[in-house]
Structure 1
Amino acid sequence: MRILHTSDWHLGRSFHGEGLGEAHSAYFDHLVDLARDEQVDAVLVAGDVYDRALPNPRTVELLDDALWRLLDTGARVVVTSGNHDSASRLNFGSRIMEHAGLHIRAAYEGITRPVAVPRRGSDEIAGHVVALPYLEPSVAAGVFGLDEGTHRAVLSEAVARSRAQVPDNGAPVVAMAHAYFAGATTSDSERDISVGGLGQVPTSVVSGFDYAALGHLHGPQTLEEHVRYSGSPVAMSFSEAGHTKGTWLIDVTRGAARGEFIEAPVHRPLATLVGELDDLLAEPALAHAEAAWCQVTLTDEIRPAAAMDRLRARFPHTLRLSFESARKDDAPLTYAERLAGRDDVELCCDFLAHVRGGRGPNATERTALGHAVAAANRHDAETMRDDGSMFDLEALR
């Protein structure tokens, strides 16, 4: 059986305020072409189809179009729900859709209905798919009558119940699961599903299958030769800047699975920049970041004025800006050290940048601050002369 393994589409999600609709559309174009060119028997989507339980209408339309086009390639499509999906909403009409070749497993009763995948162009069974939706331990334990409400316990029970329904006809058997398996590497963009010490699931739970198509973690990973995460097809956070996104193309036979990772198109690359502002703006080697979504950490000892505006002049897609002083010693600067060498106008500019979260005054504002400071100094000088102060301002100068 030849399959495409994908997961964690998170349709409807944004990237630090930037919509990902175009990125998902480009991926679906790629996935449809891949399914047709590689003549796959099935496309497996291992959970987190949507990013939220109530997706907006445009997001639903995007999924509808993608599924219709995938079915048009002649492949069967198997979809499970993830921890971000509303299982009941995703499961609506699932039995009707099976007649068109779309198999959705989001409800508990679907666990005992493995999917028999015919070989493309014939009635011969190429393999079976045990498609397990995300199982919330606190709920699933009650449904299954278990005393232990952990991911390991409920997933083990689901595997046992579903595997018992697979006919032993010599065809390979593939599992789909949405969970955090031991040995995998997380990123910042996944929702924690281990609340309450429920922990990880050992790969032994799915080791009896010819292939396990996993979802939930956003980086592609091979835990064992036949146990893999596809990862998300588009980046969800800057922690994924080092990821190569894509889809697993898997040929599964009884007792073996051979995989090839097919890279997905990159809508916009990610870049994480660290350094002093002037250095970043002048560094020729950073030309690649000019078209990327950027996360910038400035290490200037004094926060530069208008830092974001200056950054976006060269890196227009900068989305995140933070400050981290390059000062190495642990002792904080004293008040006198912070003021050393700073005149009144510069101190006012620093304060304005501080209250604005790093954005200092522009040229017009700086001129106005200069006039205000000069006027204040003149007022102080006149006041000292008028009230008979014990020292003369001109003498101090």
Structure 2
Amino acid sequence: MKLLLFADLHLDTRFPNAGPARRQALRDTLGRIVDLAQDSNVDAVLCAGDLYEHDRCSPSTASFLQSSFDCPVPVFLAPGNDDWYGPQSVYQQVDWTPNVHVFSSENMTPVELADGVTLWGAAHVGPGPARDFLDGFAVNRSGVNLALCHGSAPDDVAITGLDHAFLGHEHTPEHAVRYTFPGNPDPLTAGETGERGAVLCTVHDDGTVSREVFDVSASRSLGLLAESSEAFPLLDFDSVAAERTVRGQFVRDVLADLSLDTGLRGRVLATGLRALEER
């Protein structure tokens, strides 16, 4: 069984340099994740929380998510502490297509992915710190048992009887024997480390998991990141576009050109700004 895991996308983010260009890049990253899922013929897409930020959610986010997940692939969403499940949440506002399953209980509940394969999931149901959903939980069925949730402590996985847990909240990726933190798929702050992205997880018959990481970051392709000797600091293209300068007009023109796809737009921005700096 193949599952595509991601977490902590933080649409409508509060993180630095979160102007229109960055927010659009995060949406483009989700589009890349869904495209990758279909191209890879996965059995399901898993999101381990903080898909968006409840307190900063724009009116268009709900319709964007609905259309993004309207695809042939099953999608399982486990709300986190920033996108918690509740009456005013996007999760309840959207009339999801049948392929989308939103975990809505703070208790681990099972969904059968295939014969002999169970996915257990839970949701944050209000604001607050991330919690440990695996504390006190124990598997009560046979076969391969997997978990999807946001913020659980890795030390709990082995004693629950779970074969593997797919987790969110930690932005630094970690691939352990019994759990996976994919990290945020698109950079949110400067100085992030680790191989982050969407993680293609192959679940074997014995419950072990092998993984392959795919870089799906639209910010990198768009040129919103510039490599330095220490990190990948975020470039605020929205501020540059606001400048009443030649380079400001250049950035505005490139961002407004709908004929450019994400990759080409990034190359044009990088090449053009470099040329302007060298003049």
How far has the Cα of 1:236 moved from its partner? 1.2
The 2-side partners of 1:233 and 1:138 are apart by: 23
2:35 is equivalent to residue 39 of structure 1: no
Alignment of 1:193-272 (within 5 A): 201=153, 203-207=154-158, 208-222=161-175, 224-240=176-192, 242-253=193-204, 254-265=206-217, 266=220, 267-271=222-226
Q: Is the 8 A contact 2:109 2:122 kept in 1?
A: no
Residue 22 (str. 1) matches residue 12 (str. 2): no
Deviation at 1:104, TM superposition (A): 0.5
1:155 matched to 2:134: yes
Structure 2 Cα separation of the partners of residues 62 and 56 of structure 1: 10
Larger radius of gyration: 1
Distance 1:78 1:130 in 2: 10
Q: Structure 1 residues 80 and 271 mapped into 2: Cα distance closer, same or farther (>3 Å)?
A: same
Selected match of 1:87 from 82, 85, 88: 85
Aligned to 1:113: 109
Q: Structure 1's 151 and 28: CA in aligned 2 closer, same or farther, altered over 3 A? A: closer
In structure 1, what is the equivalent of residue 275 of structure 2? Answer: none
1:293 aligns with 2:235: yes
5 Å-filtered alignment, 1:322-337, equals none
**Which residue of 2 is the match for residue 194 of structure 1?**
none
Pair 136,29 (structure 1): closer, same or farther in 2 beyond 3 Å: closer
Question: Structure 1's 132 and 221: CA in aligned 2 closer, same or farther, altered over 3 A?
Answer: same
Please point out which of 96, 100, 104 is paired with 1:102.
100
Q: 1:78 aligns with which of 63, 76, 79?
A: 76
Distance 2:85 2:190 in 1: 29
Letter of the structure 1 residue corresponding to residue 198 of structure 2: T
Q: Distance in 2 between matches of 1:23 and 1:255?
A: 35
- Distance in 2, Cα, partners of 1:23 & 1:247: 15
Aligned residues: 231
* Cα distance change of structure 1 residues 138 and 58 upon mapping to structure 2, 3 Å threshold: closer
Q: Percent identity among equivalent residues?
A: 24
Aligned residue identity for 2:110: P
Q: Separation in 1 of the partners of 2:29 and 2:156? A: 31
Separation (CA, whole Å) in 2 of partners of 1:33 and 1:137: 31
Q: Distance in 2 between matches of 1:61 and 1:24?
A: 15
Contact 2:184-2:197 at 8 Å conserved across structures? yes
Change (3 A) 1:257 1:60: same
> Counterpart in 2 of 1:10?
10
Query: How big is the shift at 1:245?
Result: 3.4
SS of the residue 1:270 aligns to: coil
Partner SS, residue 134 of structure 2: helix
Give 1:215's aligned amino acid: G
Q: How far does residue 21 in structure 1 lie from its aligned partner after superposition?
A: 2.9
Provide runs of 4+ in structure 1 moved above 6 Å: 135-139
Equivalence for 1:129 = 119
Match of 1:48 in 2: 50
Q: Distance in 1 between matches of 2:228 and 2:42?
A: 41
The 3-state SS of whatever aligns with 2:12 is: coil
Q: 1:138 to 1:215 in 2, by over 3 A?
A: closer
Q: 1:137 to 1:60 in 2, by over 3 A?
A: closer
Q: Which secondary structure state, in structure 1, belongs to the residue aligned with residue 75 of structure 2?
A: strand
Counterpart code for 2:235: W
Check conservation: 1:3, 1:43, Cα contact below 8 A.
Answer: yes
Relative to the length of structure 1, the TM-score reads 0.51
- CA distances 1:238-294 after superposition (whole Å, capped 9, x unpaired): 132x454311101112331111111113233534769xxxxxxxxxxxxx99xx617
Q: Kindly tell me: are residues 138 and 18 of structure 1, through their superposed partners in 2, closer, same or farther at Cα, counting changes over 3 Å?
A: closer
Render the CA deviation track for 1:140-178: whole Å, top value 9, x for unaligned.
xxxxxxxxxx945x6313x33xx33xx42x3x2211121
Residue ranges of structure 1 left out of the alignment (5+ in a row):
119-124, 140-149, 182-200, 275-287, 295-308, 318-397
SS in 1 for 2:69: helix
- The one-letter code matched in structure 2 to 1:228 is T
The amino acid of 1:128's aligned partner reads T
RMSD (Å) for aligned C-alpha atoms: 3.5
Aligned residue for 1:106, secondary structure, equals coil
Q: CA deviation at 1:210?
A: 2.1
1:30-80, CA deviations, whole angstroms, 9 ceiling, x for partnerless residues? Answer: 212211121111111000111234512122222122111xxx23x211101
Supply the distance in 1 between the matched residues of 2:196 and 2:211 (Cα, whole angstroms): 15
Identify the structure with bigger relative contact order (alpha carbons < 8 Å, sequence gap 6+): 2
Provide, for residues 320-376 of structure 1, a one-character-per-residue CA deviation record: whole Å limited to 9, x for no partner: xxxxxxxxxxxxxxxxxxxxxxxxxxxxxxxxxxxxxxxxxxxxxxxxxxxxxxxxx
CA deviations over 1:109-144 (Å, ceiling 9, x no partner)? xx35311114xxxxxx362111122477999xxxxx
